[in-house]
Amino acid sequence: MQLSAFEEDFVQHFGEMGSRWGIARTVGQTYAVLFIKQDPLCADDLVDALGVSRSNISMSLKELQAWNLVRHRNVKGDRRDFFTTPDDMWQIVRTLIEERKKREIDPTLTKLRELQMQEPGPENAYAHEKVTEMRELIEGLTSFYDELNQLETQRLVALIKMGAKLRKLVTGTAKILPLTSQTTTKG
């Protein structure tokens, strides 16, 4: 399972970006190989393509499976496990955002809510207020995300393709949404 120069370049990039994306080098490369190759691959194909240890591939695949980013396919008459990436790229985008939200945002939201339960002594009045402000902002953003996420992919694609029209639509909604809720936007 040798990679062409073209594929190699693509795969290397995913390895290098790994640390910025919060995943290990090999995890990124493993995903990249599965993405760019049409046929399902088994673990040994990946060892061969990436030149890393068998156990590293095993753990990387496990992590990708935990993130729902690879699929497991049994090939009849072959005992080995074969893997691919899901075909629907939009599903991949949804999964990525969902997983990042789970890891990067939800724990903080939980902590902020927990902090807010406490009765603030007078010394913490300001801090308490800032925690509220941050919590409300994050809650607003995540509800917005939840709304978008509920749209079927077709509509989401349409919305995203709107481009410049979107701004006009929202601006044109001024009558429906005349910014009356300014009491809460003290910033």
Partner DNA sequence: CTGTATTTTCAGAATTTCCTGAAACTTCGG
Partner DNA sequence: CCGAAGTTTCAGGAAATTCTGAAAATACAG
Output the smallest distance, CB 75 to a copy of itself, in A.
19
Output the smallest distance, CB 156 to DNA, in A.
31
CA distance 30 to 46: 7
Q: How far is CA 104 from CA 5, 8, 39, 60, 99, in A?
A: 35, 31, 33, 20, 8
Residue 26 interacting entry, from a copy of itself, DNA, none, C-beta within 5 to 8 Å by type = DNA
Residue 52 interacting entry, from a copy of itself, DNA, none, C-beta within 5 to 8 Å by type = DNA
CA distance 93 to 143: 18
Output the smallest distance, CB 79 to a copy of itself, in A.
27
Q: Please, are residues 49 and 33 in contact by the beta-carbon 8 Å criterion?
A: yes
Output the smallest distance, CB 43 to a copy of itself, in A.
21
Residue 26 makes contact with DNA by CB under 7 A: yes
Q: Please, are residues 32 and 10 in contact by the beta-carbon 8 Å criterion?
A: yes
Chain centroid to Cα 143, Å, comes to 16
Region at 185 (left for phi over 0; alpha for psi -120 to 50; beta for the rest): beta
Q: Which of 81, 91, 100, 132 binds DNA (CB under 7 A)?
A: 81
Residue 153 interacting entry, from DNA, a copy of itself, none, C-beta within 5 to 8 Å by type = a copy of itself
Residues that bind DNA (CB under 7 A): 19, 23-27, 42-44, 52-56, 58-62, 78-81
